[in-house]
Structure 1
Amino acid sequence: MASLTPTEKYNLISRGLQEVLGKEQIESILAERDLNVYWGTAPTGKPHLGYFVPMTKIADFLEAGCHITVLVADIHAFLDNMKAPMELVGKRAEYYTQLIKATLTSMGVPTERLKFVLGSSFQLTPEYSLANMKLCSKTTVHDAKKAGAEVVKQVDSPLLSGLIYPGMQALDEEFLGVDAQFGGIDQRKIFVFAEKILPAIGYKKRAHLMNTMVPGLAGPKMSSSDPDTKIDLLEAPENVKRKLAKAFCEEGNVAENGILAFVKTVLFPLRSMNGKTPSFSILRPEKFGGDVIYTSYEDLENDFKEKRVHPGDLKKAVTDAINELLAPIRKWFDNDELRKLTEDAYPTPKPEPKAKPVKSNKPVANAALEVDISRLDIRVARILEAKIHEANPNSFVSTVDCGGGDIRTVVSGLAKYIPLEEMQNRLVCAVCNLKPGKFQGVLSGAMLLAGSSADDSVVELLQPPAGLEAGDVIEFEGFAQADRTSQEKLNPKHLIFEKVSEDFKISPEGIALYKDLQFSTKAGPVTLKSLKEGRIR
């Protein structure tokens, strides 16, 4: 660090950032001394893989000689979430502190120039309260709402807690005694507000460093309610593999690719620390192009864009890299004290009582019932006609007979795997009690089940035995077939299909299974044309 010039330090501090506010201010400070930077995190939900993105930049700051303050913002978490009492928030603050230390250690980052500060240690003092009142006297409701527009939930009648949140984040800069605050580009309005309001109440203006926003594993479909779009920092290796296998990674698509974004914003920067030449390896058989070692992200992105790197090969390489990063974190928490802290901070939910039987002819639509295969209405169906989607050449729009005159339109993203002629007048397996929804602009009334290889290179529709008709049932030993007249329509928010389908698989003999139970019909089991082992989606 001592050998770096001020310019080299600034370049390291600013590399990969989307925006810097106060460049001249930072350069002026670096000409005289090292920079003091703060990054804040509110201890609410469990930190996930996305935390490696700010951690990677903190590694850059430390390499540039910066003094880093990590604000574990327990008061902010209480104001922002309001779902947990302060006692629970306190346990989560301890959990976050341990997890951040473990994460930086897993990255090989020395932490001597890093300190942790609990928000309540100074935000509840008389001095801070008086400064906060002074700030409030200079802030309009309009400015407070505008400042928090990207990070605080916007409603017609906002809670006062959401309005004071941005002001407190600005005030923290003064009470932590820093030169700059680091955060995501989504906090830009808070940062601009801070630059305006602090001088108005007698404090100096700070600089602001902003990271780009990185897509999640599900790309444009990321959902905070879907656990498969996030990987916990203590996730088991097999879960990492499973979630990466399901992650959105469309062939040739580099714009909405969370896996490539992780390679760009985490793996390459980490592997270039301390002047090292970064490398990222794609390992594959010679018949698929052989092994390739990339020393620049741009070369990898270009090869993926030109379809010289298959999504399956990229997923495998990133899975291995992530598990390598997570291994020291798992080891850090592998003791009784930290296992207890984890349980105290995030108690295992108590099972909900089973719903009492409802005597009614109306569909039972609730998520308290057992989540198993009995919740799905899976039938033999027949595709009467399939066409290429007008707006998406990778999808089919099919007219499907689900039995008994029940004709539905179904959209399926199978056109890049299955020839159009193979979709005509054929038997399939369809999930028929999902709530209809628009998919690529077309209302889709069912889901066609398909099997895929581990790397998604082969995808085939499930194949019911010959001699069946549309409407014939798919049965599972030990589970009663639901009465279709009262079958619930599954609300997508409850993720019933997603949870049940985690136990779908293909046997080594090519038979479709739920756990170890066959997809059975009166004519025999449901099979796959050529796939032996794999998953069903």
Structure 2
Amino acid sequence: MSNRQKKNCTIPIISSRCSTTTSMAEQLIPIQEVKSLSIDETPKSGMTLEERLKFIRSIGEECIGEDELRNLLANKDEPICFDAFQPSGRMHIALGVMKMINVNKLTSAGCRVKMMIADLPAFLNNKMGGDPKKIEIVGKYFIEIWKSLGMDSLGKVEFLWSSEEIYSHVNEYWPLVLDIARTNKLPRLTNCCQVEQDEISGAQIMCPCMQCADIFFLKADICQQGMDQREVNILAREYCDGTEGKNKPIILSHHMLPGLQQGQGKMSNSEVSSAIFMDDDQAEVNVKIKKAYCPPKVVEGNPCLEYLKYIVFPWFKEFSVERKAEFGGAKTYNNYEELVVDYEREALHPGDVKPALSKALNKILQPVRDHFANDSNAKELLKKVKTFSRTTSTKVDKKKTKEQQTPADNKKPLAVNDTPQSSSEVALEERFQIIRTVGEECIQEDELRNLLAHKDEPICYDGFEPSGRMHIAQGVMKTINVNRLTSAGCKVRVWIADWFAFLNNKMGGDLEKIEVVGNYFIEIWKASGMDLSRGKVELLWSSEEINSRSREYWPIVMDIARKNKLPRLTRCCQIMGRTEQDELSGAQILYPCMQCADIFFLKADICQLGMDQRKVNVLAREYCDDIKRKNKPIILSHHMLPGLQQGQTKMSKSDASSAIFMEDEADVVNHKIEMAYCPPKVVDGNPCLEYLKYIVFPKLKEFTVVSSAEDGRAKTYQTYEDFVVDYEAEALRPDDVKPALSKALNIILQPVRDHFSSGAPRDLLERVKSYRVTR
């Protein structure tokens, strides 16, 4: 284990025997540490196996893995059942009474129920307007209701706040989310969304990845949720197939109660008439049931009869109707099926059912009312919940209190008219010009001048994914740019994006290899002369920084995800070397949200990356508009060197002939330059001349060419512009330029070769060379 890992323990080293296709979940935590179950074993609980199976099975309208359920119960005394809810306003009767009935059935059958109070997903889905304090209050209100009903009479229910559990185990949870995101295509994840396609945001892609992760994170054997969660639970089973998880979670999906009005497929918190709420008073219940849709003789789609089937009969085991003798007199039904027979033949009328239903519901709800009337804490919670202005749309409320603001918000605006802190206007202009030379494009120059006038040490952000051997643009060009920035008084934070490399499947998603490549990159920069000695450059591993400040980082990611629709995020996907037409995974949507968050997390004033990163940096500036942040990150986008062959717009690590690599031997450099595209008189699109402009002149400050003509005279150019004049006039030919360019590049690369010629650096290089190159 490396010193970095021993100190932080964020990325466990995996044996070299591991496959390069091993998932992060398999590298970090086992999917389910349960032995292979044998159906023939004797049941270990007081109930018989068949009794436990029947009791648990009665909860689900559908059970996926019924044989697996039998096997589980035969071999595990206390299976773990997972359920979750997002605090989102007042609780309706399905979430209250139905959930309580189901949970108590599970605990009676020997199960342990882990109830996840999904406050982070609630924030992600903009429940309660995305206000964490309101979400917390609603979550506590929910718990008070279940306790007043009698949930957990056997002490086998755990209420777990997702924020507390996740932030206590960040190095287990978030890698699992990332792995699920990278192994699932976008269409599969959108199938889990209950939002119209054109309204899907990054949050709606992130949420099923988190929901799926919850199941494994809590080591659940059974997922006991509504039919509306069926798709994401199936996703968890599919994920087990992809990671060769032995024991898939069993899916027990309960029925979804409809709204009380005709045509309402599902209860809605936002439409009060659609449901009975757990804190409704007696009069409200009576009015809602009286107005409810209840057609005579019709059973299917009749909400009043559904209330009887799923709430009243399970609760009381019977249902009594009071009628005058002329209409059949009072009658008590001992099961739902008996009632249906009478209702379908009109021996039982809606006018009989509704008053009796209201009476039964009020009897169920009375302990809740009493609790919230007599318990001061519960009373205060209910009062607050009723006053909340709740929103369920994906449109984010941009009015924030100080407590709600993300770290990205808190930054004092720069005043253009303040007195500059620099020693002189000349010094300011010199700093501006040095920094400006780094970027082919700058968004915005006036903001850059303003920044330099008011901050002696601006923070510049750069990042890279460890993904194989380093080419000369990542090595020499980055060194030149970083040294320019530090010479102009900037502090540069270089983000070693190991988690991002995993998310983007670099090095086959193997974390050990990713770390090795990251360390190799650092060694190259040291050898190539990057100024690391004065504390002006910080090399930060993303996994370590994110894990150590996860409560700060992930809320920014989630906020960016919920504020941006899918089309906007997919436009950023070219940052990963893929076109928008490629089949994207969830990772490609989560990726720009995280990369955008990095900028604010690192408190960057300047984003100094390549032109290929421009779209995500612009996204960061747009996010500032969303959160009303006045100081947007300045975008300084450097030029992208092309490949050495004709038509190669970008270097490719998978095509060794397209680039010079930092540890290439002299003869390899000579051969590559000799074969490089270099048309006479043509400057634009000439890779050899681009190497001169962006590598040789900035590094060596001059370029000497020996003419191939008879006189063989040498000429030294002090500027690239002077060189271009001669080349366009054909005073210089490609045969003159190429040998001189090879010589210059070999001079620049020799310190790197020397550094990697022996000891630990040599071993590091050999390991990197042995790895399969990835995109």
Q: With structure 1 as the length reference, what TM-score do the two structures score? A: 0.60
CA distance in 2, matches of 1:286, 1:318: 19
Does 2:165 match 1:165? no
Equivalent positions of 1:350-361 (< 5 A) are none
Equivalent positions of 1:174-323 (< 5 A) are 174-201=216-243, 203=245, 204-221=247-264, 224=268, 225-271=270-316, 278-323=317-362
Aligned partner of 1:40: which letter?
A: A
- Aligned-pair distance for 1:15? 1.3
Corresponding residue number in structure 2 for 1:505: none
SS of the residue corresponding to residue 83 of structure 2 reads: strand
Aligned partner of 2:381: which letter?
A: L
Aligned partner of 1:212: which letter?
A: H
Equivalent positions of 1:311-350 (< 5 A) are 311-334=350-373, 335-347=375-387
SS of the residue corresponding to residue 256 of structure 1 reads: coil
Aligned partner of 1:29: which letter?
A: L
CA contact (8 A) 2:137 2:385 kept: yes
Change (3 A) 1:202 1:90: farther
Corresponding residue number in structure 1 for 2:104: 59
User: Could you tell me which of 151, 154, 171 is aligned with 2:196?
Assistant: 154
Does 2:137 match 1:91? yes
Identity among equivalent pairs (%): 25
CA contact (8 A) 2:59 2:252 kept: no
Corresponding residue number in structure 1 for 2:72: 29
Corresponding residue number in structure 1 for 2:155: 112
Change (3 A) 1:179 1:243: same
Does 2:87 match 1:43? yes
Show CA shifts across 1:223-267 (max 9, x none).
735312211101111111111111111111111211111111122
- Aligned-pair distance for 1:168? 1.1
SS of the residue corresponding to residue 17 of structure 1 reads: coil
- Aligned-pair distance for 1:347? 2.3
User: Could you tell me which of 185, 188, 191 is aligned with 1:140?
Assistant: 185
CA distance in 2, matches of 1:90, 1:197: 31
- Aligned-pair distance for 1:48? 0.7
Aligned partner of 2:134: which letter?
A: L
CA contact (8 A) 1:104 1:111 kept: no
Show CA shifts across 1:14-44 (max 9, x none).
0152211122222112112232101111111
Corresponding residue number in structure 2 for 1:100: 146
- Aligned-pair distance for 1:337? 1.7
CA distance in 1, matches of 2:199, 2:53: 43
Equivalent positions of 1:420-439 (< 5 A) are none
Show CA shifts across 1:111-166 (max 9, x none).
411111111112332321122122222121111112x14xx312325211101111
Aligned partner of 1:316: which letter?
A: P
SS of the residue corresponding to residue 333 of structure 1 reads: helix
- Aligned-pair distance for 1:8? 0.9
Aligned partner of 2:335: which letter?
A: S
Change (3 A) 1:177 1:155: same
CA contact (8 A) 1:43 1:72 kept: yes
Aligned partner of 1:331: which letter?
A: D
CA distance in 1, matches of 2:199, 2:331: 55
SS of the residue corresponding to residue 180 of structure 2 reads: helix
Change (3 A) 1:16 1:202: closer
CA distance in 1, matches of 2:346, 2:138: 43
- Aligned-pair distance for 1:314? 0.5
CA distance in 2, matches of 1:63, 1:44: 29
Equivalent positions of 1:387-426 (< 5 A) are none
Larger strand proportion, structure 1 or 2? 1
CA contact (8 A) 2:282 2:362 kept: yes
Corresponding residue number in structure 1 for 2:119: 74
Larger helix proportion, structure 1 or 2? 2
CA distance in 1, matches of 2:388, 2:63: 41
CA distance in 2, matches of 1:89, 1:226: 19
Q: With structure 2 as the length reference, what TM-score do the two structures score? A: 0.42
Change (3 A) 1:319 1:298: same
Structure 1 segments unaligned to the other structure (5+ residues)? 272-277, 351-537
Aligned partner of 1:90: which letter?
A: E
SS of the residue corresponding to residue 125 of structure 2 reads: helix
Aligned partner of 1:37: which letter?
A: C
CA distance in 2, matches of 1:349, 1:70: 26
Aligned partner of 2:297: which letter?
A: G
Larger RCO: 1 or 2 (CA < 8 Å, sep 6+): 2
Change (3 A) 1:169 1:221: closer
SS of the residue corresponding to residue 270 of structure 1 reads: helix
CA distance in 2, matches of 1:84, 1:349: 11
CA contact (8 A) 2:294 2:302 kept: yes
- Aligned-pair distance for 1:198? 3.8
Corresponding residue number in structure 1 for 2:481: none
Equivalences, count:
338
CA contact (8 A) 1:20 1:207 kept: yes
- Aligned-pair distance for 1:53? 2.3
CA contact (8 A) 1:89 1:345 kept: no
User: Could you tell me which of 14, 17, 22 is aligned with 2:57?
Assistant: 14
Runs of at least 4 residues of structure 1 off by over 6 A?
none
Structure 2 segments unaligned to the other structure (5+ residues)? 1-43, 391-775
- Aligned-pair distance for 1:329? 0.7
- Aligned-pair distance for 1:72? 0.9
Corresponding residue number in structure 2 for 1:445: none
CA distance in 1, matches of 2:389, 2:236: 39
Segment drifting more, 228-237 vs 77-86: 77-86
Aligned partner of 2:223: which letter?
A: Q
Change (3 A) 1:63 1:219: farther
Show CA shifts across 1:169-209 (max 9, x none).
11111111221111112222111111011453465521110
Aligned partner of 1:338: which letter?
A: A
Change (3 A) 1:156 1:341: same
CA contact (8 A) 2:85 2:116 kept: yes
SS of the residue corresponding to residue 195 of structure 2 reads: coil
CA distance in 1, matches of 2:199, 2:257: 31
- Aligned-pair distance for 1:54? 2.8
Structure 1 vs Structure 2 CA RMSD? 2.1
Corresponding residue number in structure 2 for 1:480: none
SS of the residue corresponding to residue 223 of structure 2 reads: strand
CA distance in 2, matches of 1:163, 1:235: 35
CA distance in 1, matches of 2:85, 2:389: 24
CA distance in 1, matches of 2:277, 2:348: 27
SS of the residue corresponding to residue 25 of structure 1 reads: helix
Aligned partner of 1:320: which letter?
A: K
